Structure 1
Amino acid sequence: MSDAADFIDLALQRESSWLRAEEMQARLGGSASGTGLTFYGASVGAVRGTLRDALRRYTELAHDDITALSSELWDVPVFERRLAAIVLLQSSLTLLTNTDLTRVEGFFRSAALRELVDPLAVDVVGPMITGLDVLARVRADSVLDRWVQDPDPWLRRAALLSPLRALRSGAGDWDRFVRHARMVLAEAPDGGVAGEAAVHVRSVLATHRPELEFG
């Protein structure tokens, strides 16, 4: 493990609580069955604080260091480590580009948990794509077009959730979202984790942008 990964892991373990770990296991463990996911019992605030401390300590981290560190954290199936990987990427959005979607796709495929998939899609993938230049954004959009047709429901969920922040703020490509949502709902009219995401985005936008019509 790198020094930065070791620092983060030890800090998370110091913030652990066996009572919180048991509660998280009871609340989330069933949803993540089959992933081997375990819990330290550190709070979300502790995870965010740990990442702030790590980035202050390791100020020299460049793009390749950040992405490699995110993989180091994610590769050990501990909820707080994976959440730390998401916070790390969220804190480094200006360094990310469309080619990093390949790595993030692997995270989605192994996450199998709303509490990991949703912030990774909404707080990392969406804002990262919004900040890309025109050519890189076209390439990133083609990745989302592929994700929404993938058999993995968590990848389809990610594709639908990623434009939420942009759409809610008055930007984003509403027509693209509608096409993606219709595609998913046609295959899963009874819901599922992907269809659930389409319904959620429509519900949020019904409040924030009621002028948008799903048709």
Structure 2
Amino acid sequence: MSEAAEFIDFTLQREATEERAPAGRDPGVGLRYYGASVGAVRGTVRDAGRKFRPLSHDQVTALSSELWTRPVFELRLAAVVLLQSNQRLLRHSDLTRIEGFLRDARTAALVDPLAVDVVGPLIHGLTDQSRARAESILDRWAGEPDPWLRRAAVLAPLRAVRGASIDADRVVRRTRAAAANDDSDLVREAVAVLRTELAKIDPGRAPSL
């Protein structure tokens, strides 16, 4: 492991408690749990950023992949927090890496922050052709068989919806595609969340989802 990854791993193991670890386990996800709190994960990533700064784009993405490779929930959450904290460095080409994370995550505790706090702001900050290519990737996710990718496609624009700075037509079309003939609670739940937020800014569109 790199020095930065070792620092994060060691610190999170030190922050863990036996009482918290069993409560966080999800048998269907197939991950180990150290038992560190979300606050500890965020604090550790913040400390790592200070200790090893400045981190370049390539260092951030490489470290996120290194953390994700270990099948430990807290390390994967640290990868998500790392991307959140360095969102300004990310590019549309990083969506390929993030798509791999989403396919592998299999829990809303990782998929939702990746979608809402990484993918959405990343795309919202792009312009011109990079923005168009990124939006087309979300459109593709909406038609994927994997319900976690469809959930991510629905939730990604959530922050932009709350800020009333979206292409509502495209969001509605994409959400309909993600939910078409779908019996997945994962997608239905995401659509319900988006419908509630969309109704606050455009009540006429929300019922059509």
* TM-score normalized by the length of structure 2: 0.95
What CA RMSD, in Å, does the superposition of the two structures yield over aligned residues? 1.2
Whether contact under 8 Å (1:181, 1:195) holds in the other structure is no
User: Structure 2 residue aligned with 1:54, among 38, 42, 48?
Assistant: 48
**Rounded Cα–Cα distance in structure 2 between residues aligned with 1:203 and 1:167:** 10
Give the match for residue 199 of structure 1.
192
Q: 2:166 aligns with which of 164, 172, 175?
A: 172
Task: Give percent identity, aligned residues only.
Answer: 56
5+ long unaligned stretches in structure 2: none
> For residue 209 of structure 1, what is the aligned residue in structure 2?
201
Find runs of 4+ consecutive structure 1 residues off by over 3 angstroms.
Answer: none
- 1:55-78: CA deviation from partner (whole Å, max 9, x where unpaired): 000113200110000000011111
Residues 161 and 201, structure 1, Cα contact 8 Å, conserved in 2:
yes
Q: Distance in 2 between matches of 1:115 and 1:212?
A: 31
Identify the residue that residue 150 of structure 1 maps to in structure 2.
144
Which SS does the other structure have where 2:187 is aligned? helix
Shift of 1:195: 2.4
Normalising by the residue count of structure 1, what TM-score does the alignment of the two structures yield? 0.92
The residue aligned with 2:73 is 79
CA distance in 1, matches of 2:30, 2:101: 14
Counterpart pick for 1:137 among 131, 142, 161: 131
Q: Is 1:91 paired with 2:85? A: yes
Q: For 1:170 and 1:111, locate their aligned partners in 2 and report how far apart those are by CA, in whole Å.
A: 29
Question: Does the Cα contact within 8 Å between 1:21 and 1:42 map onto a contact in 2?
Answer: yes
For residues 84-103 of structure 1, what are the alpha-carbon distances to aligned partners after superposition, in whole Å with 9 as ceiling and x for unaligned? 00000000011001000000
How far residue 186 of structure 1 moved from its aligned partner, in angstroms, is: 2.1
1:23 is displaced (CA, Å) by 1.1
5+ residue gaps, structure 1, are: none
Select which of 103, 121, 136 maps to 1:127: 121
Instruction: Give yes or no for contact 2:24–2:33 (8 Å, CA) kept in 1.
Output: yes
Aligned length: 207
